[in-house]
Amino acid sequence: MKKILCCVFALAAVAALTLLGIVIFAADEGKYRLLDDTSFERETAGKLAFVDFFADWCEPCVEFEPIFAEASRQVREGFFVKVDIDASKKTSEQFGVELIPYIVAVRDGKIVSEYRGDRTVENYTAWCREELKRHGN
């Protein structure tokens, strides 16, 4: 019962912070941000951003979540961002999101690479590191 109450409290806190637009998901020392139509351009400007376009109702998105979180821990020099397609329709349309999860590297408002590898921590972190070498941060 105690674990359930902790989970409910944590979800309520995340929901409240999301409404305020200040959610940063932290996982140990790694972190990623949940951005929306009003914050995406500003927060990613001048950076190579690893973006996961997702939806809460998408099972493959839910399965990719822990991989994305672990990559944000392991690739500390990376800037990791999640965009909820239901809450951020303008940004999703701007990047032509048709299927989710849509996992890309973005720089200066343009997709520089799409992730098409196996959805494992090892493969995704290797891809992120390679993109950092190619496009800098």
Which CATH number do you get for residue 119?
A: 3.40.30.10
pLDDT digits (tens, 9 = 90+) for 99-137: 999 999 999 999 999 999 899 999 999 999 999 999 987
Q: What is the pLDDT of residue 9?
A: 43
Does a structural domain hold residue 108? yes
Does a structural domain hold residue 13? no
Give the count of domains, the chain.
Answer: 1
Q: What is the block-wise mean pLDDT of the chain (137 residues), using blocks of 10 residues? A: 42 43 42 95 96 97 96 95 97 96 96 95 97 91
Does a structural domain hold residue 46? yes
Does a structural domain hold residue 14? no
- Domain encompassing residue 118: 22-135
Q: What is the pLDDT of residue 136?
A: 82
Inter-CA distances, 38 with 61, 62, 103, 105, 121, Å = 22, 24, 20, 19, 30
- Known catalytic residues? 58, 61
